[in-house]
């Protein structure tokens, strides 16, 4: 992956399913310090990396637990999904090393005209 990033001069990289990526049985050496080494290598190449980790991955694979992610990530964004009468999504910025951030939880709804964002106390209207 690093060679591909170098040769393609990539500026951004998305690792979708980072828990599965780290826990692949064919690569047992991906545990322990591997997440930190990988993110440091990508950062040194000037690559902005988005690692997607499902909460279910955190329960089964401890190399990507909350303290590890906090140590290696500049920014941690959590997306909580709640199911009531409909599916509701609440992103929350949990950490930002590079700037001050708004820590309020807000609901995000995809509407025909784009994203609608509101505070939890003032949910958006879905049309």
Please report the pLDDT score of residue 31 as a whole number: 63
Domain range for 23 is: 1-73
Looking at the structure, do residues 8 and 45 belong to the same domain, yes or no?
yes
Region 19-34 average pLDDT: 69
Query: Looking at the structure, do residues 62 and 119 belong to the same domain, yes or no?
Result: no
Do both 66 and 44 map to the same domain?
yes
- CA angle 6/10/11 to nearest 5° reads 130
Give dist(CA 48, CA 81) in Å, integer: 25
According to the model, what pLDDT value does residue 30 have?
A: 63
79-114 pLDDT, tens digit each: 888 888 888 888 887 778 877 777 778 888 888 898
* Alpha-carbon gap, residue 125 to 48, rounded angstroms: 34
Residues 13 and 1 both lie in one domain: yes
Range with the lowest mean pLDDT among 9-13, 15-19, 48-52? 15-19
pTM for this model (two decimals): 0.63
Q: Model confidence over 34-71: pLDDT tens digits?
A: 777 888 899 999 999 888 877 654 444 445 555 666 67
Residues with Cβ within 8 Å of 122's Cβ and at least 6 positions away in sequence, in order, are none
Distance CA 42, CA 10 (A): 10
Query: Do the beta carbons of residue 88 and residue 126 sit within 8 Å?
Result: no
Whose structure tokens read 């505070």?
119
Query: Could you tell me if 68 and 110 lie in one domain?
Result: no
Q: Token pair of 60, please?
A: 């089964």
The predicted-structure confidence for 71-80, as pLDDT tens digits, reads as follows: 777 888 888 8
Question: How many structural domains comprise the chain?
Answer: 2
Residues making up the chain, counted from first to last: 127
Question: Tokens 């709804």 label which residue?
Answer: 109
């Amino acid at each position: 992956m690093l060679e591909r990033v170098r040769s393609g001069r990539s500026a951004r990289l998305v690792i979708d399913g980072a828990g599965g990526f780290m826990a692949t049985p064919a690569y047992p050496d991906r545990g322990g310090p591997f997440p930190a080494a990988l993110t440091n290598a990508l950062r040194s190449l000037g690559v902005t990396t988005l690692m997607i980790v499902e909460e279910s991955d955190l329960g089964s694979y401890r190399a990507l637990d909350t303290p590890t992610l906090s140590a290696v990530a500049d920014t941690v964004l959590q997306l909580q999904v709640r199911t009531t009468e409909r599916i509701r999504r609440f992103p929350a910025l949990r950490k930002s090393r590079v700037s001050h951030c708004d820590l309020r939880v807000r609901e995000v709804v995809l509407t025909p005209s784009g994203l609608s964002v509101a505070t939890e106390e003032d949910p958006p209207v879905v049309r």
